[in-house]
Structure formats: structure tokens, C-alpha cells
Amino acid sequence: MIKEFKEFVMRGNVLDLAVAVIIGGAFGKIVGSLINDMLMPLIGLAMGQVNFSELAWTVGEASVKWGMFVQTIIDFLVVAFVIFLIVKAANKMKKPAPVPAPGEPNTKECPRCFSTIHIHASRCPNCTADL
């Protein structure tokens, strides 16, 4: 069982996911600080000394903090835009897969699960075997 667990953990996609989660958490803190400590004070200043974190509606005894909600939306939009730019840059750096000449096969068989996959695939989408 320990050997199987080691194989599972050492697979490329598990390690990549772990690294992505750790970097994503750190990146989220950076973007959160950018929004809370730099952008929102400037936006509040431009709107006439408004502190978004304190804006709220009071309904009975409940406090609806709509200012924090606006701040969270801006935080999400900045993160989404930065991730979009990173993915766009990564896609530009990838080489396009060579196009097979007419008449050449464009599929192959996975040696592990025997399913039909694209000729340029480096990993089987069905069994995740490295090809």
C-alpha cells in the first residue's frame, strides 16, 4: 500500500496540483493586499473619502456589508484578469502540434488501456498513462 501511495503522490499531476494550490494561496494574499491596501483606498478617495469596508445597510439587527462585497468582487476580477494573462502568455509559448499530412493517421492506440487517442497526445485522457 505504501508503494501505491508513493506512486500516486509522485505522479506529475498530483505534484503540479499541490504546487498550484500553494502558489495560488500566496498569490491570493498578494492580490488581496493590492486590493485592500492600495486600490480600494484610492477608489474611496476618488469617491469622496469613502471606506468600502465600513459601508453597510442595517436591516433590523442585521448588518448587510455591501461595501465588503464590492471589495470582494473587485478582488475576484483582478485575480481572474491576471490568471487570464498568465494562461494567454503560457499558450503563446507552447509550440503548436504538428499537423499530420493528408492520408497519415491522426489517431493511435494507448498501449495501456487500448483506447483511441490523438496521435500527438503525450498522456492518455482515459487512463492518464504517459505515452
Same domain, 45 and 64: yes
What cell does 103 get? 492520408
Question: How many domains, the chain?
Answer: 2
Distances, alpha carbon 32 to alpha carbons 39, 72, 79, 104, 127, in Å: 10, 9, 9, 51, 38
Same domain, 80 and 102: no
Segments of 21-60 assigned E as strands? 57-59
Same domain, 101 and 79: no
What values do phi and psi take at 78, rounded to 5? Answer: -65, -45
Q: Which residues of 101-128 are buried (b: 16+ CB within 10 A; e: fewer)?
A: eeeeeeeeebeeeeeebeeeeeebeeee
Half-sphere exposure of residue 83, counting CA atoms within 13 Å on the CB side?
12
Other C-beta atoms within 10 Å of 77: how many?
A: 11
pTM given for the model = 0.53
From CA 94, how far away is CA 56, in angstroms rounded? 47
Same domain, 6 and 57: yes
Same domain, 25 and 69: yes
Same domain, 62 and 115: no
Check which CATH number belongs to the domain holding 65 and give it: 1.10.1200.120
Same domain, 67 and 103: no
Same domain, 26 and 81: yes
Q: Which domain holds residue 70?
A: 2-94
pLDDT tens for the chain, 131 residues long, are 888 887 777 776 777 788 888 988 888 888 888 888 888 888 888 888 777 778 888 888 998 988 888 888 888 888 888 889 988 998 888 877 777 677 777 888 888 888 888 888 888 888 888 87
